[in-house]
Amino acid sequence: MLGFLVLVWIFLLFLLFRIQRPKNFPPGPRPVPLFGNLLHLNIVNPLKIFERFAERYGKVYGLFWGLKPVVVLNGFEVIKEALVTKGIDFAGRPQDFMINHISENKGVVLADYGPTWKEHRRFALMTLRNFGLGKQTMEERILGEISHIVACLEKNAGGMVNPQTMFHNAASNVISLVLFGSRFDYTDEFLTRYVQLSTEISKIINGPWNLIYDTFPLLKCLPLPFKKAFDNALKIKHMTFKLIEEHKRTRVPEEPRDFIDCYLDELDKRGDYGSSFSEAQLIMYILDLHFAGTDTTSNTLLTAFLYLMNHPDVQARCQQEIDEVLEGKDQASYEDRHNMSYTQAVIHEVQRVANTVPLSVFHCTTKDTELMGYNIPKGTVVIPNLASVLKEEGQWKFPHEFNPANFLNDEGHFEKPEAFIPFSTGPRVCLGEGLARMELFLVIVTLLRQFQFVWPEDAGEPDYTPVFGVTLTPKPYRMHIRLREPVK
C-alpha cells in the first residue's frame, strides 16, 4: 500500500511540474519535469553543449531553465534580427534570477526595459560624455593609471610578474576615477575588500548554488550557502553608501567632480516626488558600472598578453609600428590608433578570441513576438550566444585561430567586420564600450612601447582555455618582463 501511495505521489508531482512547450516554440531537447533541461547542460561550461544543440536544432532553439522557457540565439544574422531589427521586443531583462534579487532590480545593466531604465541609461551616457569619454580628459586619467602599471613592471624588469591582480586593480581604478573621482593604491584596504567581496559573489553566481536558487524557488528562504552572496552584496552596498555620504559632505552643488556628484545634483533638481532617481538606485548604478568596467577590461588585457607572449612575431610587429608612429612623442594618444592599422587589428583580434562575455547579459522578451518563424512568448529568457558569432564560419577569414588578418583588408588597412559584437548590439549594447576601447588601446600600446613580454621557459605549453563564468577569465599565468631599448 505504501509503495502504491509513493507512486501516486510521484505521478501527481510529475503532472504538477510537467513542462508544456508553447505552441510553435523553437525546437530543443525534451525537458524533464521540474528540472527542465538543466540536466542536459554542463554547468561548469555550457558553451560546447550549446554548440551541439545549435548543430542539431538550428540557430534558434528552446530550452527550459527549471520551469522557465529560454531561447538561445546563435549566429550573427539571428542575433542581429532579434537585438537590432526587433530590438525593443528583446530589450527586457529577466527579473527573477538570484543576480536580480541581489541587485534588487535596480541599476542600469540588469534593470528591466521601461521608463526608469531609459532615464538612467540616458543619464549615464550623458554623464560619461561630459566627463570626457572619448576626449583628452579621459585619456589623461587612463594614462595616469598606466603610469602605476609601468612602475610595477619596471620594478620587476628582468623577473616575473603575475599580472592578474595588477590588471584588475588598474581597470578598477580607471572606472573609480569616473565614479568616485579618486583612485586607490593597489594595496588599499578599501579596494582589496571591494574586490574580494565582488569576487566571492561572482563565484557563487557562477556555481551550483546559483542554479539551485534559480530552479527551486521554495529553497530561497533557507539559510543555504547562496546566502553569502546576499550578505556580501549588503557589505558592498554599505561601503558604497559611505562613499556617497562623504560626497554629500564635500560636494559643491552644480560643480560635479565625478559621477556620484552628477547624480546627487540630478536628485536635487528632481526632488523626491515621482522621480525614478534615488540613493538606492545610485548605489546599484555604481555597483553595475564598477563591475562591468573592471572584469571585462582586465580579462581582455590578460588575454592580450597571453597571446602576445606566445606570438612573438605579432608582438614585434606591433612594437615596430608603435615606435614609428610615436617617434618623438612622450606618450600615446587615442587618436594615434588611426595610424596603427596592425596594432588596431591585434587589439580587436584579442577581443574576438577573448570572447569575454560569451553569453552576453541575458535578455527577456517584452511582448509576444516572432523570430525566424517561431513564436516567442512575452517573458521568455533570451540568451544571445555571442561566442557563436565571434567564431562563426563565413564571418571571419580565420574563425578558429588567433590571426590579426581577421581585421585587415587586402591593402593591409584596419577594417572591422559587422560581426564584431563583443559588446553586444542593439538598445542594450554595453554602456562602457567607448571607455573600454580607449583603455585597451592606451594600455597595450604604452606597455608594448616600453617592455618586451616573454613566456617563461619553465611554464610549459600555454593553456588558452579560459575559466567559464559571467566573464571568461584566462587561467593564471606569469609574464617575464624585459625593458626595451629606447628607440633612437
Which is it for strands 68-74 and 381-385: parallel, antiparallel or unpaired? parallel
Q: 73-110, pLDDT tens digit by residue?
A: 999 999 999 999 999 999 999 988 888 888 888 888 88
**How many CB atoms are located within 10 Å of the residue 225 CB?**
12
Angle of CA points 238, 239, 242, to nearest 5° = 85
Distance CA 187, CA 23 (A): 57
pLDDT at 5 > cutoff 70: no
Q: Measured in whole angstroms, how far is the alpha carbon of residue 157 from the centre of its chain?
A: 31
- Residue 336: what pLDDT? 96
Q: Which residues contact 459 (CB under 8 A, 6 or more apart)?
A: 477, 478
Among 187-196, 345-354, 419-428, 439-448, the minimum mean pLDDT is found in: 187-196
Q: Is residue 486 part of a domain?
A: no
Give the DSSP letter string of 81-148: IIIIITTTTT-B--SSSHHHHHHTT-SSSSSPSSHHHHHHHHHHHHHHHHTTTTSHHHHHHHHHHHHH
Q: Determine, yes or no, domain membership for 7.
A: no
Query: What percent of the chain shows pLDDT beyond 90?
Result: 63
Is it the case that residue 279 has pLDDT exceeding 60?
Answer: yes
Where does the pLDDT of residue 19 fall: very low under 50, low under 70, confident under 90, or very high at 90 and above? confident
Which pLDDT belongs to residue 103?
86
Does residue 136 have a pLDDT over 70? no
d(CA 235, CA 102): 12
- Rounded average pLDDT over 164-178: 91
Mean per-residue pLDDT for 382-401?
A: 96
The verdict on residue 484 lying in a domain is no
* Coil vs helix vs strand at 465: coil
The model's pLDDT over 200-258, given as tens digits with 9 standing for 90+, comes to 888 888 777 887 888 776 777 788 888 899 999 999 999 999 999 999 999 998 888 88
- Checking if the pLDDT of 10 tops 70, the result is no
pLDDT at position 11 is 45
CA dist 385 and 301 (Å) reads 22
pLDDT of residue 133: 59
Say if 2 falls within a structural domain: no
pLDDT tens sequence across 454-467: 999 999 999 999 98
Residue 8 has pLDDT above 50, yes or no: no
Give pLDDT, residue 354.
96
Mean predicted confidence (pLDDT) in 263-279:
85
pLDDT at 176 over 60: yes
Task: Considering only residues 217 and 307, tell me which one the structure prediction assigns the higher pLDDT.
Answer: 307
Per the domain annotation, does 35 fall within a domain? yes
* Secondary element (H or E) of residue 422: none
pLDDT of residue 455: 97
Q: Are residues 212 and 226 in contact, defined by beta-carbon separation less than 8 angstroms?
A: yes
pLDDT > 50? residue 47: yes
**42-46, 176-180, 285-289, 442-446: which has the minimum mean pLDDT?**
42-46
Number of domains in the chain: 1
Quick: pLDDT tens for 345-383: 999 999 999 999 999 999 999 999 999 999 999 999 999
For residue 150, pLDDT over 60 is answered with: yes
Please check whether residue 95 lies inside any domain of the structure.
Answer: yes
Q: What is the mean pLDDT of residues 141-165?
A: 94
173 within domain boundaries: yes
Give percent helix, percent strand, percent coil of the chain, each to the nearest 5.
55, 10, 35
106 is a domain residue: yes
What pLDDT was estimated at residue 134? 53
Q: What average pLDDT does the segment 99-128 reach?
A: 88
Beta partners for 376? Answer: 369
Q: Give the residue-averaged pLDDT of 12-40.
A: 79
Q: Which residues constitute the domain of residue 446?
A: 21-469
CATH number at residue 118: 1.10.630.10
pLDDT at site 132: 64
